[in-house]
Chains A and B, each alone.
Chain A
Amino acid sequence: MKSKIILLVEDNPDDRILTVRALKQHNISNEIKEVKDGQEALDYLFGEGEYAGRDTSIQPQIILLDLKLPKVDGLEVLQRIRADSRTRRLPVVILTSSNEQQDRISSYDLGANSYVRKPVDFSEFIEAARQLGMYWLMLNEAADD
């Protein structure tokens, strides 16, 4: 169970609260690691900075990534995730706040797996999980029922 972490990269506290709430609301009881900007996300993933010494063999099962982030923006985070062998295969779901076509195209180009509209459109989220073959999310849901 310890490895089934959801990493939420989101700078807006309102959106963080609402996202966590939506996931809990739908009986997803995984540990949700919240980070506030792109740098912190990278530090967490690669065990650097304030996360120095973290066991990087333990990686989140899914990353919910906002695009507009302070310090290092979401597209760059995605790029770095895809460039590193430790994180290359991690499923990344982009949290979008708009229908901006450009955001979608460039993040698909960089290897995003899916999209979910903010804070979390739950039906979209489940659909994304299904596409990613992450049955454990739904399994969780069923188990807690």
Chain B
Amino acid sequence: MKNWLYRSFFRQVSVMLLIFSVISISAYATHNYFELKRQWRDAIESQASDATRLVALTVADDLRYSRLFGLWSKLKRVKEQENQGSLYRFREITVLDNQGNTIGSTDPEKHPLIQPYVSEAQGDIETIKSISPVEFGGERIGSIAAIFDITPFRQFLWIHLRDFAIYLSALTLASVALGLILARWITRPLFSIQDALPLMGSGNISLSMLDQRQDEYGALARAIESADKRIKEDARQIRMQNDTLEETVRRRTNELAASNRELEAFSYSVSHDLRAPLRAIDGFSQALIEDYGSRLDETAAFYLQRVRGGAQKMGSLIDDLLQLSRVTRLEMKHADVDLSSIAEKILQELKNEDSHRNASIRIEPGISATGDAGLMQVMLQNLLNNAWKYTSKKDHAVIEFGSTLHNGENVYFIRDNGAGFDMRYASKLFGAFQRLHTEDEFPGTGIGLATVQRIINRHGGRIWAEGTVGEGSCFYFVLPHVAA
């Protein structure tokens, strides 16, 4: 019922109107009925009393002189005469003397018997009673007791009430109909507003039927029209700003692409052109040593070795720098990468190059991560090269690659028992060109860990390290799981 009612405003108004009409009209009808009944009854009682008094006047002579037959026939005449069409009629007229004895009555059973008057209720007949004194020459000589049958009045009332009910029903229907029309009339503009609202922002809303009105609908229609225009204008401006923004983004992207290409060309040039003179320095130094070694003294040969060492160092600096810059620029392709097998291969190569070394390698099998395979390779290469390099002075090197769960995160680690580092300098580990060892202790460019960190950063991961001087170090990293 509630749902049915609330489905339409029109329905709610109609139901309210109907309830209100029925209640108010029935209240009025009830009040009216009782008021009418009371007034008419008062009128009938007063008329009946007048009629009784008239009878008293008529029969005064006969009562005084005890002309009982005349009295009786008069009573009978009065009763019959008063029967015509009125709302009340005599049912019974009784004449009593001063002692209360019945002298004459229209009721044959009471006349001429002397017995106290008893009012009788006879079935469906409604009666009223009226008593009037009979006077003769200013003296009371008896009284008239009349009983009136007012059943016609009741019928009259019922007929009246029926008419009234018909009239009120018609009125109710009319008022409900009027209410419905009114409700329809009030709610109808809502439909054109409802139809207009989806067009909000188009600038085309025209509620021409409503916007001239001075009532609430007029105000609403004008507000909707102006909101429509304002939204359209706002949208136009936002579009314009968007276009500008897109244009800017496009321009910036092009600039970026151009600068990337330039950088690419620059790196290419560095890797090719910078290396050529280095090759000459290294190559001719080597040629000198090899071809003229016999004519060089020890110092000259040593110097030439230093020249070669310098050239080679610069070569690896170029390699590392290029790698660092490439790691940042390269487009990443995410895939599942088997870290264990990559680590295995790298360490195997290192072992092959340095076969005299005594090293234990422990690689947890089946470690994988989501990331760019090339970058993962570069990262592990750098970390494992370090582990290999910094354990080079140990009699027995132990290098471990594994993973562990820490705070619900999968943490990878590469642990070695090498030179380690002082935790005070841990923050400097990943900076480019930052080194914690001298070139004589462990050669290096100081770019490797910076490259590692960039790779981890590009994958959205974290890397940190723990170390103890002389006992080894452990590098931990976390890679977020990304759908490949």
Cβ of A14 and Cβ of B272 under 8 Å apart? no
Q: Given A98-B271, A100-B268, A100-B271, do A18 and B276 touch, yes or no (CB 8 Å)?
A: no
Structural contact, B276 and A12, CB atoms closer than 8 A: yes
B321 to chain A, nearest CB (A): 12
A19 to chain B, nearest CB (A): 9
Does B97 have its Cβ within 8 Å of any Cβ on chain A?
Answer: no
Please give the distance in Å from A100's CB to the nearest CB on chain B. 6
* The residue from B268, B272, B275, B287 contacting A18, defined by CB atoms under 8 A apart: B287
Stretch in contact with the other chain, from B122-130, B201-209, B278-286: B278-286
Closest-by-CB residue of A relative to B287 is A21
Dominant SS among interface residues on chain B: helix
Q: Does A97 lie at the interface of the complex (its beta carbon under 8 Å from any beta carbon of B)?
A: yes
Please report the C-alpha to C-alpha distance between residue A12 and residue B284 in the assembled complex, in whole angstroms.
Answer: 14
Does A18 lie within 8 Å of B271, measured CB to CB?
A: no
* Contact, CB under 8 Å: B290 / A18: no
B266 CB to nearest chain A CB (Å):
13
Which chain A residue shows the least CB distance to B326?
A101
Docked-complex contact A119 and B279, CB < 8 angstroms: yes
Cβ–Cβ contact B283 & A97, under 8 A = no
Fill in one digit per residue for A75-104: 1 if any B CB lies within 8 Å of its CB, else 0.
000000000000000000000011110000
Contact with A along B287-331 (1 / 0, CB 8 A): 100100000000000000000000000000001001000000000
**Given A21, A25, A98, A119, which contacts B272 in the complex, CB threshold below 8 Å?**
A98
Contacting pair A15 B275 (CB below 8 A) = no
Residues in B whose Cβ lies below 8 Å from that of A25: 290
Give Cα distance in the complex from A25 to B284, angstroms: 13
Chain B residues with Cβ under 8 A from A36's Cβ?
none
Minimum CB–CB distance from A129 to chain B (whole Å) comes to 21
In the bound complex, CA of A4 to CA of B95 (Å): 173
Q: Which of A14, A68, A99 contacts B280 (CB 8 A)?
A: A14
Contact size class for B? 10 to 19
Which residues of chain A in 48-94 are interfacial with respect to chain B, using CB atoms and an 8 Å cutoff?
Answer: 68
Q: A118 contacts B271, CB within 8 Å?
A: no
The answer to whether A119 and B283 have CB atoms under 8 Å apart is yes
CA distance A13 to B232 in the complex (A): 71
Shortest CB-to-CB span from A94 to chain B, Å, is 13
Once the chains bind, are B322 and A18 in contact (CB under 8 Å)?
no
B284 and A14 contacting across the interface, CB-CB below 8 Å: yes
- The distance in angstroms between the C-alpha atoms of A18 and B280, with both chains bound, is 8
Residues of B within 8 A of A100 (CB): 268, 271-272
CB distance from A17 to the nearest CB of B (A): 8
CB proximity of B276 to chain A, nearest CB, Å:
5
Q: Write out the residue numbers on chain A whose beta carbons fall within 8 Å of the beta carbon of B290.
A: 25
Q: Is the CB of A18 within 8 A of B319?
A: no
Residue of A nearest to B270 (CB): A98
The reply to whether B280 and A97 contact each other, CB–CB distance below 8 Å, is no
Contact residues in A for B279 (Cβ distance below 8 Å): 14-15, 18, 97, 118-119
Q: How far is the CA of A99 from the CA of B275 in the complex (A)?
A: 11
Residue on B nearest A14 in the bound complex, by CB: B280
Instruction: Say how far B320's CB is from chain A's closest CB, in angstroms.
Output: 11
Point out which of B268, B277, B283, B319 has the most chain A C-beta atoms below 10 A from its C-beta: B283
Given contacts A25-B290, A99-B319, A100-B268, contact A14 B283 (CB under 8 A): yes
Chain A contacts for B268, CB-based, 8 A: 100
Complex-state Cα separation, A99 to B82, whole angstroms: 140
A117-133 near B? 1/0 per residue, CB < 8 Å: 01100000000000000
- In the bound complex, residues from chain A placing their C-beta under 8 Å from that of B322 are 98-99
A97 in contact with B275 (CB, 8 Å): yes
Return B57 CB to nearest CB of chain A, in Å. 144
A67: min CB distance to chain B, Å = 8
Contact A14 B271 (CB under 8 A): no
For residue B272, which residues in chain A have a CB less than 8 angstroms away from its CB? 68, 97-98, 100
A97 touching B284 by the CB < 8 A rule?
Answer: no
- Closest B residue by C-beta to A18: B283
Beyond A14-B279, A14-B284, list 17 extra A-B contacts (CB 8 Å): A12-B276, A12-B280, A14-B280, A15-B276, A18-B279, A18-B280, A68-B272, A97-B272, A97-B275, A97-B276, A98-B271, A98-B319, A99-B322, A100-B268, A100-B272, A118-B275, A118-B279
CB-CB nearest 6 A-B residue pairs:
A14-B280, A98-B271, A18-B283, A97-B275, A97-B272, A68-B272
Residues of B within 8 A of A (CB): 268, 271-272, 275-277, 279-280, 283-284, 287, 290, 319, 322
Name 30 interchain pairs, CB-CB below 8 A, sorted by A. A12-B280, A14-B276, A14-B280, A14-B283, A14-B284, A15-B276, A15-B279, A18-B279, A18-B280, A18-B283, A18-B287, A21-B287, A25-B290, A68-B272, A97-B271, A97-B272, A97-B275, A97-B276, A97-B279, A98-B271, A98-B272, A98-B275, A98-B319, A98-B322, A99-B271, A99-B319, A99-B322, A100-B268, A118-B275, A118-B279
